[in-house]
Structures are given as structure tokens and as C-alpha cells.
Amino acid sequence: MKKLVKEFTKGIIKENPTFVLALGLCPTLAVSVSVANAIGMGVAATFVLLGSSVIISLVKGFIPGKIRIPCFIVIIATFVTITELCLKAYSPVLDRALGIYVPLIVVNCIVLGRAEAFACRNNLASAFFDGLGMGVGFTLALILISAIREVLGSGKILGHTLVNGFEPVFVFGMPSGALLVIGLLLGLFNLIKNRKT
């Protein structure tokens, strides 16, 4: 039990996919314009991570080592397609906001990275909690970045105005603002890490 809790929590801080491992940055930057988009993307990616981790850990005994990567990709792509279709059916607005970045989850290095580094070597329970932890870590990172960008870039959070009369800094809503925020955040995390050691 203790081990499972550890598998879950390591993805959130110690091995956070975005800030520590610097994986899967493309969707992180592209959809972090607003917190609502970020949560949508985070949930979609968590679902794919969780599903593919579970399936891969179940079938790891049947897949020959040489063709494991294509097999993983097919499994991941299946879950991405499920996500795509569900989004289109139940939340067309979110689907339009996320655009091409939903199909691109399939080439997100976090998902394939976890499949290759963890799910194909561990049992079902560990893989489940690892996938869930990584997904939650990814979602939290997305929410952090998008909160900074939304507050500075439009003066709102989840559509509610925070401070009246605040002049928004539009550049934070633009691509360049995303790159600046992630650059400075990565620097900050490095600084904290260096202080600790």
C-alpha cells in the first residue's frame, strides 16, 4: 500500500513530468491560455495515460520486445481516439478550443515515456497509480501555468474578473508569454532544487 501511494505522489512533485522531466511541453504551452482549457487538456491526457498504462501493463507478457514501440503507439492512439470522439460528442466547445492538440496527445512524450519506462515493467496496480500520478502532476502543472497566464493576460480566472481596473498584459495570452512563463518557472524550480542540495 505504501509503495502504491509513493508511485502516485512521485509524479506530482519529485518527478513532475513538466517541470522536472521537461516532457510533453508542446500541449502545455499551446493550451494554457485559460484555466478551463488547461483542465480539459489535463483530464484528457490523464485519461490516455491511465488507460494506456493499465492496458500495457496487462499485455506486457504477450508483446515481443522488438515490436513493442509500435504496439504501444497503437494502444495509446486507441485511447486518444476515444478521447477525441468523446470530446466531440459531449463538449464541442472544448474540442474546438483544444483543436489539433487532442490528436497530438499521441506523440506526447509523457505517455510513451511512461509506457516504455514504467508500465511495461510493473504490475497492474503500480502502473495504474503511476499513470494517475503522472496525469495529475501534468494537470497541476498545466493549471499553474494557465493560472499565471490567464490572470496576467486577461485579468480573469475561469472567466471571473479578479481585480477591477487591472490593465491586462496581452502578451501573456500570446505564444510568447507562454514561453516566457515556462522558462522562468523552470528556472525557479532549478533554483529551489539547487538550494536544497
Partner 1 sequence: MNIQQFLGIFISSVFIYNVILSRFLGLCPFVAISKDTRQAFAMSAAVTFVITASSVVTWFIYRFLLLPFNLAYLRTLSFVLVIAALVQLIEMVIKKASPVLYRAFGIYLTLITTNCAVLGAAVLNVDMFFANGKPVPGSFYYSLFQGFCMGLGYTLAMLIMSGIRERLEFCNVPKAMRDFPLAFVIASVLSLSFMGFSGFKF
With CB under 8 A as the contact rule, the residue among 3, 14, 70, 96 that binds partner 1 is 70
With CB under 8 A as the contact rule, the residue among 5, 13, 58, 85 that binds partner 1 is 85
Smallest gap from residue 4 Cβ to partner 1 (A):
29
Residue placing its CB nearer to partner 1 in the complex, 5 or 184: 184
Least Cα distance to 53 among 136, 130, 140 occurs for 130
Kindly state whether residue 169 participates in binding partner 1, applying the rule CB under 8 A. no
Residue placing its CB nearer to partner 1 in the complex, 29 or 127: 29
Least Cα distance to 63 among 73, 53, 71, 75 occurs for 71
Query: Count residues contacting partner 1 (CB under 8 A)?
Result: 40
With CB under 8 A as the contact rule, the residue among 4, 9, 15, 30 that binds partner 1 is 30
Yes or no: say if 134 and 114 are a contact pair by the CB < 8 Å rule: yes
Instruction: Give me the long-range contacts of 184-191 (CB less than 8 A, separation at least 24).
Output: 185/19, 185/144, 185/145, 185/148, 186/19, 186/22, 189/19, 189/20
Q: Which residue has the cell 487591472?
A: 166
Kindly state whether residue 26 participates in binding partner 1, applying the rule CB under 8 A. yes
Kindly state whether residue 58 participates in binding partner 1, applying the rule CB under 8 A. no
